[in-house]
Amino acid sequence: MALHAIQAAQEQVRAESAVLRHVGETLISLDRVSKSFGEAEVLRDVSLRVRRGEFVSILGPSGSGKSTLFNLITGLLKEDSGELSANGEIGYMQQKDLLLPWKTVMDNVTLPLRLKGTDKKLARERADALIDRVGLRGYEDRYPSQLSGGMKQRASFLRTFLASGEIMLLDEPFGALDSMTKGGMQTWLLEVQEAFGATILFITHDIEEAILLSDRIYVLSSRPGVVKDELTVGFGLGDKRERLLDPELLRMKEAIKKLL
């Protein structure tokens, strides 16, 4: 078999494996969910789903109710109407890292386990088993003030993962980073998401970021937020990082711009 045929077959296997990996039970489901604050209608009849192992993005302009959606999913807020269910433990990572400045990296990332009553030694062992995968080896005893923005977000990610182990809600985690650091963190997130097999619901207003990272994208309108479209990112399934060089990225980006 010619080399190009072998490579094509390998790419097809990777793509099919990626699709199969993302076919699982529904962990988050919203059916015609609405939310208002007084006279201000924030969300209207929003329906979405996230299956086990998927990376799903919510893309929309500022004020479209994206963060309100996360607060509904975590139970911090109650929907006014519609049905919402979330199966499994949920970890919520916000744009600001929220690391406690007086605690070391290790103490910060193990905090959720300690609050759940896990023994300190066991909590540190669980975190230590993952330290290498998130690129924090050698930083365990550093304080947040001694870390770069990207390293702080890695620590926040690990803390969120240890808090959930199932579903991760990431609210514009790279929004405050410079473009070079942001690009590196996006690649890193794809790698660790694949390694952990985590289920991720991701908020962003960056169209290219949503296309790069996601299996599916929900596009929200400006307030009140309604789902304008649900898009499946059907290219670059074998290695999402290759999407940056695919002409389809530009075509999809322009289509989303028209929706917004």
Measured between alpha carbons, how far is 180 from 60 in angstroms, rounded to an integer? 23
What is the Cβ-side half-sphere exposure of residue 161, based on CA atoms within 13 angstroms? Answer: 22
Sketch out the chain's domains with CATH numbers.
3-88+166-259 (3.40.50.300)
What is the pTM for the complete model shown?
0.80
Based on the number of CB atoms within 10 Å of its own CB, is 6 exposed (0-12), middle (13-18) or buried (19 or more)?
exposed
Per-residue pLDDT tens digits for 137-192: 999 999 999 998 888 888 988 888 888 767 889 988 877 777 877 888 888 888 88
The model's pLDDT over 62-85, given as tens digits with 9 standing for 90+, comes to 888 888 999 999 899 999 999 999
Inter-residue contact 215 to 49 (CB < 8 Å): no
pLDDT at residue 199 tops 80: yes
* Residue 165 pLDDT: 63
| Cis amide leading into 101 (omega within 30) | no
Give the length of the chain: 260
Is the confidence at residue 229, as pLDDT, over 80? yes
Per residue in 94-147, pLDDT tens? 777 688 999 999 999 999 888 888 889 898 998 888 888 778 899 999 999 999
Indicate the pLDDT class of residue 23, thresholds 50, 70 and 90.
low
Contact residues for 143 (Cβ-Cβ < 8 A; gap 6+): 101, 102, 103, 104, 105
Q: Is 72 exposed, middle or buried, given 0-12, 13-18 or 19+ CB atoms closer than 10 A? A: buried
pLDDT surpassing 90 at residue 237? no
| 14 has pLDDT over 70 | no
Q: Is 51 helix (H, G, I), strand (E, B) or coil?
A: strand
Say whether pLDDT at 12 is over 50: no
- Position 182 scores a pLDDT of 83
Residue 20 has pLDDT above 50, yes or no: no
Mean pLDDT (the chain, rounded)? 85
pLDDT the model gives residue 248 = 92
Q: How far apart are CA 152 and CA 22, in angstroms?
A: 29
The string of DSSP letters for 167-199 reads EEEEESTTTTS-HHHHHHHHHHHHHHHHHHT-E
Give the rounded percent of residues in the chain with a pLDDT score beyond 70.
90
User: What is the average pLDDT across 36-59?
Assistant: 94
pLDDT of residue 228: 93
Q: What is the pLDDT of residue 13?
A: 41
Task: List all residues 6 or more positions away from 248 whose beta carbon is below 8 Å from its beta carbon.
Answer: 235, 236
More confident residue, 134 or 239: 239
